[in-house]
Amino acid sequence: MKFDRVDSARLQRQIADLMERVQRHAETDVSLALDDLAVGAAGLIPGAQYAAVTVTTEKNIVDTPASTHCNPAILDDIQHSVHEGPYLQLVADKEPIRIDDLAQETRWPTYCRLALERTPIRSLLKFPLAGSTHTLGALTVCADNPHAFDEDAFDVGHAYATHASLAWDALRRKEQFAIALATRDIIGQAKGIIMERYRCSADHAFGLLKKLSQESNRPLRDVARQLVDVDAPVAEAGDAGV
């Protein structure tokens, strides 16, 4: 796919409009602003099926505060578990990373093997999100097909990430950013509890959480926290042999 001057101008306007929306949402809801970044990347970067924003928390945990699908978050979980992968490489080098086919990739063998076992993803692009706060994040776009991203897709992704870095800088300065990460963490814990208890997928677990939230007319984070709090004494009793 080749972009002409008209396509390029239209794309620049779309990115600029999206970043304005991100900035507006950042004033009241950091979590929503992060979601905007991920959804925008999946919609604007050619070949992308999924997109996510990744960050390393203060506790050195690889976290995914925004993702359009559970699959990119699974990739981040794998990296945190095996201590290798493209995000960790990006943090070290601060350069974009391209994987045309996970089945042929040799740089991170354990990560690639587990990624292929646990997700249908075959190709991805990963770009650094950097700002004056010096806290590095990453924007990732993925696809189930190998060789999903051509040079135009890389160029669009790079342009998108450059604009997104300005929004990222503003988001990182918000006190709500830490709250957003904590909220994602508690929702992730609740999903894990449901998946283990009912032997279901991450998508199904999240669907159950959303249904509980809607039926009880309570925020999703509150429903998740209650589930985690109720489960904690049971887990502690099991660990104690009760």
Q: Looking at the structure, do residues 65 and 129 belong to the same domain, yes or no?
A: yes
Instruction: Using a cut of 0.85, tell me whether the model's pTM lies above it.
Output: no
Residue 179 pLDDT level (bands cut at 50, 70, 90): low
The predicted model gives 17-27 an average pLDDT of: 81
pLDDT at 180: 62
User: Cβ contacts of residue 28 below 8 Å, gap of 6+?
Assistant: none
How far is 6 from 120, CA to CA, in rounded Å? Answer: 34
Instruction: Give which of 74, 99, 100 is closest to 89, Cα–Cα.
Output: 99
How far is 110 from 90, CA to CA, in rounded Å? Answer: 17
Q: Looking at the structure, do residues 40 and 100 belong to the same domain, yes or no?
A: yes
**Residue where one domain finishes, among candidates 173, 193, 210:** 173
Q: Looking at the structure, do residues 117 and 209 belong to the same domain, yes or no?
A: no
Range of the domain at 111: 5-173
Tokens of 73: 């978050």
pLDDT at 58: 64
**Residue where one domain finishes, among candidates 149, 173, 197:** 173
Q: Looking at the structure, do residues 186 and 150 belong to the same domain, yes or no?
A: no
b (16+ CB within 10 A) / e for 32-58: ebbbbbbebbbebbbbbbbbbbbbbee
Please say whether the beta carbons of 31 and 120 come within 8 A.
no
Better pLDDT: 182 or 141: 141
Please tell me the total count of domains within the chain.
2
How far is 58 from 56, CA to CA, in rounded Å? Answer: 7
pLDDT at 161: 93
Better pLDDT: 55 or 170: 55
What is the CATH classification number for the domain harbouring 30? 3.30.450.40
Mean pLDDT over each residue of the chain, to the nearest integer: 83
Per-residue pLDDT of 55-91, as tens digits, reads 876 667 788 888 999 899 899 989 988 999 999 999 8
Q: Looking at the structure, do residues 17 and 103 belong to the same domain, yes or no?
A: yes
Q: Looking at the structure, do residues 149 and 195 belong to the same domain, yes or no?
A: no
pLDDT at 28: 73
Provide the percentage of residues in the chain whose pLDDT is more than 90.
Answer: 39
Better pLDDT: 191 or 138: 138
Per-residue pLDDT of 87-109, as tens digits, reads 999 988 989 999 999 999 999 99
Q: Say yes or no to pLDDT of 14 above 50.
A: yes
Per-residue pLDDT of 101-130, as tens digits, reads 999 999 999 999 999 999 999 999 999 997
What is the CATH classification number for the domain harbouring 188? 1.10.10.10
